[in-house]
Structure formats: structure tokens, C-alpha cells
Amino acid sequence: MGLKLYELAGVADNRFSPYCWRTRLALAHKGLSAKTVPVTFGQKYKLTFSGQDRVPVLVDGDLVVSDSWEIACHLEDTYPDRPSLFGGDIGRGQALFVNTWADTVLTPGMFPLLVLDVFACADKADQPYFRQSREKRLGMSLEAAAAGQEDRLPGFRGSLEPLRMVLDRQPFVAGDRPAYADYILFGVFQWARLTSSYALLADDDPIFGWRTRMLDLFDGLAAKAKGFPL
Amino acid sequence: MGLKLYELAGVADNRFSPYCWRTRLALAHKGLSAKTVPVTFGQKYKLTFSGQDRVPVLVDGDLVVSDSWEIACHLEDTYPDRPSLFGGDIGRGQALFVNTWADTVLTPGMFPLLVLDVFACADKADQPYFRQSREKRLGMSLEAAAAGQEDRLPGFRGSLEPLRMVLDRQPFVAGDRPAYADYILFGVFQWARLTSSYALLADDDPIFGWRTRMLDLFDGLAAKAKGFPL
């Protein structure tokens, strides 16, 4: 048996995908370990068996689960006796809101600030694919998307206000202890840390302190991945 | 004993405060009833005993609790055997994120679309106070804030995307059944419904359907409050 996790790999095996980090931390939270299989953008053929072409993909015995949210639900339902990712049905419902906020506000807001750095982290052979697919998504060149970084920063930081206010009142999004909602959001900041030296957060921002706490979890699981200094 | 809830009252006793609706629905969720005490903007002296001047204020025996979030926590902790508002610690932590999103994105985004209608719903004697305090908060006249309503609408609707995506996948923010996170958000829409005929939502928006489900809860508690047609 054993678990197997297919995850994105960039140049020098940089595992920077925010979605894969959600899954990595969910596995650690459950006390589960998985053999990881690197997949560069050019190696999507490795995912054919999953019936789709995006990472992460988790193989758990006979089951193949793709999409980080579906994987979290699978782990919660399959390993109910291990520490809970959601804390019950209400927590699961609300975690989906955190997930959609991350995907529609946090990640798109951060992407233009990182895009050229992420591009540089893609495997050389993958860079033309990365450029073409992302420019199509952005509707402009990577360079145009990255332009005016300093002008964008206040707006990006402002968009984090709901998260900031929560972390000003409690150590984690899930309360006193971290849970899946924290992994959802931290994955996005870990993606930034692994690809870019850009200072997304002021160092007196409550989100900055939370990010440090997240890096320390599970014996520094996220901190051990080689990233830029904060 | 018995519970007593101090809540905002506008002209013709319109109880339109979004924060008070959070509390009303939280009480109904717990199966608790409270005697309500109307407080117009000009009657803040009625709140002096609470040591602050904002509604809602809940009096529960000897205890006085102000702030809708604190009231929800009080109800959850004091009546643990009744239906849960948060579903545990993780759910409570995450509900705070929904609360901060409502307070920093949803309410401020909606306010300019409603402001002149809310003004008209304030008790006549309260209108000068309402104008002065809100113009100070907005940094402009009510009329200037309300200008360009149609131009603002697409941005407002776009800001609801995280909520829309959740409600496209599940009937309530808290999952299959409503909980406090739903009351937080619905309170803001109820505020709009009780003050304004402005069509905030397209009728094929998943949020529209959710709002209708929320109006029907607890034998139509929210629907019974006289509002504008949706």
C-alpha cells in the first residue's frame, strides 16, 4: 500500500506548487507520509492515469484522488481517527470558503508580484509552456503583468485585511491550533517563499508572524524546503 | 431571568442592523428567545449600562455582552447542549475569518450602494447624526458615496466571488446546514433588504438562492421582517 503524491517540480527539483503544499501539510497533520513523485510541467504524461493533468494527485491504495480540496476531504474521511483537518461538518463547510478566498483573492493578487520569479523557477525546458499558458490566463505578457509591482503592493496588502484581523486575534486561522484552513493559505505564501525574494509582507504584519509559525510546524517541514529569506 | 436584546431601531421601528440580525439568528439557532429593546441612534443613553454605545447588547441574567461576535461566543459557551453555532474550536476560528471578511469586504462594498436608502430609514430625528457620523467614516458626503452606483455594481458583485463559489457547491456556508457563518453574512443582506429596493444580486446568482433559503429559516424569522421585494 503506502501513499504516493504526485507534485509539481521546477528547476533543481523546486517543489513550489501552492496546491501541493496544502496536501503536504494535510498529510503531516494526519501523521501520514507519502512517497512523492516529481512532475515537471513537461511531464504531465505522468498524470495520465489520473484522468486529468493537474497536480497534486494522491494515490491511496487503489484510489486516485486529484484536486487539493478533494484530497483533503479524502484524508479526513479515510483517516477519521487521526487529527481532524476540519473539526466536523461546519468546519469543513467554512474551510471551503477559505479555499475559494485563497483561489480568487490571495493567489490572483499575489501572482503578478511573483510571476517573473516563478517563471525563472520553472524547469528551463518548461519555460515556453509556462509563458504561453500563463500569458493566455493573464491576457498579457508576463512582463506586462509584472509591471508596476510597487504600485500594486498596497492593494495586495489591503486585500489581506480579513486574514490580518483574524491573526491579530488568534494564532492560527483555525484558532489556537492550525488546521486545513491554515494549510490552504500558507501554501500560497510558501509558493512565494520558494520562488521569490520579494517582500510581500511588512515584518510587523500579524500575517508575517503566522507565516513563521507555519514554517515551524511538523519539525520545520515547510522551513526545510529551500526558499528565500523572509 | 430571561434574555434581553438591545437592537437598533429606525423609522417605523425598522430593525435593520446587520449586527443585530447576526444575534437574532444565533438566538433562534440555539432555540432561545429574547425580549428585544429598540434603540434609535438618538437613544444611545439606553446602552450606558453596557459601558459602550453600540448595538447589539445582550443581557443574559447578570451578564452584559456587547459586540455580535462576543455574543455568539457567549451563547455557544453558555448553551453548549443546544445546536452548535460553530461546530467546535476549528469552526469557531474559521467563523472569525468569515466575520472579518464580512466586516472588511462585504459591508463596506455594499454600503455605498445603499447609503441613501439607509439614511432614509433612520428615524427622522436621527438623520443629522447618521449623516454626520457616516460622512466622517466615508470621508465624503452621502451623496458623493452613492454616486456612480451602476458603475460600482460589477465590482461589488465580483468581490462576492469566494462566497458565490462556495454556494455553488453547497447549500450553506457552513455546509449542508446553516450555522453562525451564514448568519454573519446573511445579516448584511438582510440589512440591504430592509432598507433598499436596489437589486444587489442577479437572480441566477447562487447567493440569491442562498439568501432565499436563509429568509425561510426558523419559520421565516427573517422573511417576516418587512422588507423590499428581492
pLDDT given at position A208: 98
Chains A, B: CB contacts within 8 A come to 122
Residues A162-217: pLDDT tens digits? Answer: 999 999 999 999 999 999 999 999 999 999 999 999 999 999 999 999 999 999 99
Shortest distance between the Cα of B37 and any Cα of chain A, in A, equals 31
Which of B92, B96, B97 would you mutate first to test chain A, the one with the most A CBs within 10 A?
A: B97
User: Is pLDDT above 80 for B177?
Assistant: yes
User: Rounded mean pLDDT of B25-43?
Assistant: 96
A12 touches chain B (CB under 8 A): no
Q: Which domains does chain B have, with CATH numbers?
A: 3-78 (3.40.30.10), 89-224 (1.20.1050.10)
pLDDT given at position A229: 83
Shortest distance between the Cα of B11 and any Cα of chain A, in A, equals 33
Residues B106-130: pLDDT tens digits? Answer: 999 999 999 999 999 988 899 999 9
Residue contact B91–A96, C-beta within 8 A: no
pTM: 0.96
Mean per-residue pLDDT over chain A, rounded: 95
Contact residues, chain A, for B88 at CB < 8 Å: 87-88, 90-91
Q: What percent of chain B has pLDDT over 70?
A: 100
* Terminal-to-terminal C-alpha distance of chain A: 38
Bridge partners (DSSP) of residue B175 are: B172
Residue contact A97–B179, C-beta within 8 A: no
| Residue B132 CB partners (closer than 8 Å, separation 6+) | none
Residues A7-50: pLDDT tens digits? Answer: 999 999 999 999 999 999 999 999 999 999 999 999 999 999 99
pLDDT given at position B230: 74
> Nearest to residue A85, comparing CAs of A26, A167, A28?
A26
Which residue of A97, A100, A170 is in closest CB contact with B96? A170
Which of A76, A90, A170 would you mutate first to test chain B, the one with the most B CBs within 10 A?
A: A90
User: Is pLDDT above 70 for B1?
Assistant: no
Residue contact A181–B93, C-beta within 8 A: yes
pLDDT given at position A44: 93
| Residue B211 CB partners (closer than 8 Å, separation 6+) | B186, B189, B201, B230
Dihedral angle, C-alpha B76, B82, B83, B86, nearest 10 °: 20
B97 touches chain A (CB under 8 A): yes
User: Is pLDDT above 70 for B11?
Assistant: yes
pLDDT given at position A1: 61
Instruction: Kindly state the cell numbers that stand for A194.
Output: 520558494
Contact residues, chain B, for A87 at CB < 8 Å: 87-91
